[in-house]
Structure 1
Amino acid sequence: MNALRTAARLWKWRNPHFKLPTELRCYSSFHGRNQFGEINKFLKISEEVQDAVASSRPVVALETTIYTHASRLESIVREGGAVPATIGVLNGVARVGMAPDELAELASSSQTQKILKVSRRDLGYICGLGLSGKKMNGGTTIAGTMVLAHIAGIKVFATGGLGGVHRGGENSMDISADLTELGRTPVALISSGCKSFLDIPRTLEYLETEGVMVGVFADGREGSVDFPAFYTRNSGIKAQKIICDEAEAAAIIYAQSRLNISSGLVFANPVPGEFSFPKKEIDDIIEQALESSKLEDIHGSDNTPFVLAKIKELSHGKSVTTNTALVESNVERGTKVALELAKLEKGCQVEENRQSLGGVGHNVALAANYAGSSVLLCSVVADDLSGRAALSGLKNCQSNLQVQGIQVLSLATGSRTSQYVSVNDERKNLMLAMADMAIMETPEQHLDFDTCGALLSTAHGPAGSSSMRIGAQMSSQTRESGLFESAEWWQVINSLEMPSNGSRDRLVSATNSQLVDEGVPQQSIQLLPFIPCIITKLGPKGVLLTQILPHDDERLLSADYACYILSRSYGGGSNGPVGGVYMRLFPPEEVLGDKNVVSVNGAGDTLLGVIVAGLAKCEWKGDAGLRSLDDIIPVAQRASIETLKSTDAVSKEISGLEGLLRCR
């Protein structure tokens, strides 16, 4: 609110006839952005899961083909100390991490409509139809769950049984997509082996061909053990790799991840002994179920549900009890694996530690100074080790930054020099930040610009220049006027004369569809009554300039700038405040690869500092200084690139760009 009031004061200095509200309501169809960009139309990752993955906390993926047990399985994961990520499709949007009401909605919808079984091949279909208005629900298979888990950064997935090669699959080619998914998606699967009615030897051969490691948990057994066959602990097929415990499994997952191997892993967990069928008993039941399937000519995706239902019938429901027990056992085992994996990943998080002198004010001032402006930095530090190091660093840095405005507070005041610690991921993007800024709560000391002509002359140039006269006038008028009374915001918006029809197309033409979907240009326009010139930095998407043009601005009539003019106002006359709205997206000067980015910290500060330096270099004649932004912003973007490639908060290399900031 204070920021809006300050902006209102600045606007009144520019145009004292306007009274604007100090409260802003912003309308947009976009409610949030995340690192996945446009994918958020089709995929929603819960905040809990995103936070857990970003902080390397243990996460276990769960599939929704067993959504009837979802609440119980999530409880097992939470009780074990991990975060559950139940995965499915609700109303045409894929979900990774579902709220209780979403799980309930998915389960209840299965009673009134057919729930689509969603594998890899179905994800584009069900999400695409959802985008077009046909919203369907779906439970994900192992393959579908693995795809979405991998997108979300989840490495451990627990479920019941793995699909495989059906008996006779060498002729029918009836092979589960789960197997090919394991060959190309780096997610570790904990299951009770393959379903017993599948061709287990051929399934294991197929996984070997796909490059998938298959291990079997010893589960307290010594010597050789069998690969489990879902309902029974023994399949008659000896395991090639035996896993002693969850720590071993986690170490394998960790090594595979660090080696950047793109295939998955299978860890077979035998059904608890008290729920295991004797091998001969379940073999006889399965043979009868398969024979019934053959007689009724059941094929494809309908085959597995039919056989499972028949096994339930022939076992008098005992198979359901066993199924429930093995799924819960697998989820419990998967949770322990995820916990062990988190220990390994957290133990190797910090790869490099650097210290540099920073702070937004310092970075902006230093960037402006490197770009050729004479700058006085006003700040405060404590007389402690960090404060003395900061002052020493400022005095020894290769710049002409003036530091007489930095106040040093005695340790007796209990003050501490501000410090900021950031943790960046492997792509150098910010993951976590910690800051101690208590010193900024020190009682304010005011500087009267009207009585500091010599200081201003030293800091900014000749006191008689037009820019200095405007600065002094602004200081006096804003102090004398006080706060604005609230007035009609629409009065200003209407004066922009933005068309009510076709506005989206105009905004897309000026920017792009993604930014419009995110509401960025719309919100910039809504802020124009408070801030007549807005520069929005958009990272790798570039920089967006939005501003109100006066009636006499040459760009309103220039063919070179026609594509950036969103609207023209003809009702205000030559003395009116609004001539039109100007919007221009400056694409990035260069897109760096991950290996060339040292740190993103300070890049935005560098952009702002160079823009300020560029404006200070130009002679202000009315709004002439604002016109130079078209030339200044690309130079500022180049400066940001130099900082991205530097270990310093602001790169010294930007001093080489000073000559590009000369005003036209």
Structure 2
Amino acid sequence: MLFRRYLLPAATKFIRTKHYQHIELHPEIKYALRHDQPVVALESTIITHGMPMPENVTTALQVEEQVRQHGAIPATIGIIDGCIKVGLTGEELTSLAKKPRNEVIKCSRRDLPYVVARGQSGGTTVAATMIVAHRVGIKVFATGGIGGVHREGHVSMDVSADLTELGRTPVAVVCSGVKSILDIPRTLEYLETQGVCVASFDSPGGVFPDFYTRDSGCKAAYNLSTPQEAADLLRSWRELKLQSGVLIGVPIPEEFAADKAKMEAAIKAAGVQALAQGVTGKEVTPFLLSAIANITQGSSLQANIALIKNNAKVAAQIAAALAGAPATKQSEDNGESPKKPLVVGASILDLSFTVDDQKRDMQLDGATYSAVAKQAAGGVGRNIAEGIYKLYGDVNLISAVGKDQMGETLLQLMPKALQRSMIQDESQATSLCSLIFDKFGDCKLILGNMEIHQCSITPETLRAHRHLFRDAPLVIMDSNISEQAMECTLQQAQRYQLPVFFEPTDMFIAGKPFHLPPDLTQHIRLIKPNLQELKTIVEAITGQTVDWQPNTKVERVQLLQQTKDLLKKIESCFNCIIATLGDHGVLLSFRADAANDASCLLDATTSEVPPHTTRFYAAPIVPNIVNVSGAGDSFCAGFITALLQGRILDECVAAGFVAAERALQSESAVPATYFSNAVAFEDRYKQTLKTLQQQSI
């Protein structure tokens, strides 16, 4: 697939859901909650009132990354123009941070109706964040420190709404205790009166932390040693339906902890300043934090940053344990983690020869041509699996190699994580594919040996790996495996109600699964054919010959109309068809309800599928093209990664384009590295999406 230029229609960033009036969930959060994935709520007063620019934005993004790195999905909650948003985008987060303080309200429970009614913006406090998190179903919330009873609070009656919210809203709050500027003993007494379960986390002697330092001088009723212990407590808490919160106090990392005497002196000095300047009400806490930062010459700010990042890590680990997920998003060789997509397909050792003889054009005439030879890991299923592994984080692959020298070479070229379920067959030769490219980089001939995938990926082998199907959100199947293996794959999809993404691979075998019983093929919910493969699939499903020879060289308007006519014949059979149109781009036929909620494409049910709509995405320009053999597979990997992350449809396509672009500029079918990290990948495809929107017509 050669990409020439960009064109994408505008996309909405959020889904408005009728279930939560005045609340919008980011698609990733909506998908995660729908599929019981671990989510950690994050407040936004740290952005609007807790820290100065640019530390507020930098810290907020780092906190989100900590959550992702430790197995959960971050959901920063804030209010923009009267809309409560669960899962702020990077752009919205930055926009909220840059608003003048007098235009952003510090929102607790009492402030929410006013801010929403007036269409204003606000940063959510612990109390407000708890309310919203509970409304949408988020169980764990990470923050720096909660509010409490103010010093001299027995006289002023200044008690934070955070405490009463903990007494009536069932959300687990992970923090570094009560802010040091408050009366911690009275705060803990108040929480006891409210019936809040308070525990310390991994604290020597069970001492409750006090934000800047590790020892408040008070002991918590309970001490939790591990994320699993905390998850067990939260599981029982939920089962008991107590309708009150849980507070888990995590000591600040020792290397960032402040000297208690010096911090106490700074707090008293800041209190004197507040009194002298007449600061009262909800402005007291942000004023004191800012004054303490000045008095301590920034050391308290660095401590604040360190503790909130550490709390986010612990909260993510607890949320992951509570959901039964692994404590880290990174793949681990010593254990299987749930919710990994599963790929069933071919692994091939690719030998490519690119003619570098500039004096004559290559002819298949038996002559000898000077060529550059390269060796790489290939195979459609394997390529897609490696792409997903590098972009999404982890994946399972069921494939086969022989116990021969080529097999050893192929395994050495593959990530170890992809070898966990690899079949090694002594009786079969490793699949070898020789690709011949002319001096222009166009593929002229492919010679392949594919028998091992027909013989070694058997129904018995697939059934032995049924646990990989059970734990997968999506199964990806290529057409190189046998019809019997396809039947067994679809039977497992039927058993566990899984959607299947089918990569047709080649026009001659693209129709293979559609000769199976319809009650099995209905579980194929997404396909990505080129035009020749699409024609084959239409003929296999309808049983009618298609009197049309696909030709991408015709005028685009004519090509799109011809492709749409074909799609209409089979669109009701799938959630989404991604028809690739060569250097023109891709034409999608998809369920109309998936336009702003792409997670619908992962719906495994087939009854009452909504009508389809089509959308064309023109291919972007890609400079310095090196290799075209793996672009389509990388497109699949990028699209699937964004889909599994709960992105909207346009973002999924943009992610596919960006991944394919990297493959086109790589020597191998799958780049050694797509991006340095998941954030860089997301930033890149969102940049691409903006460019597409700007160039849309």
Q: TM-score range by the shorter chain?
A: 0.3 to 0.5
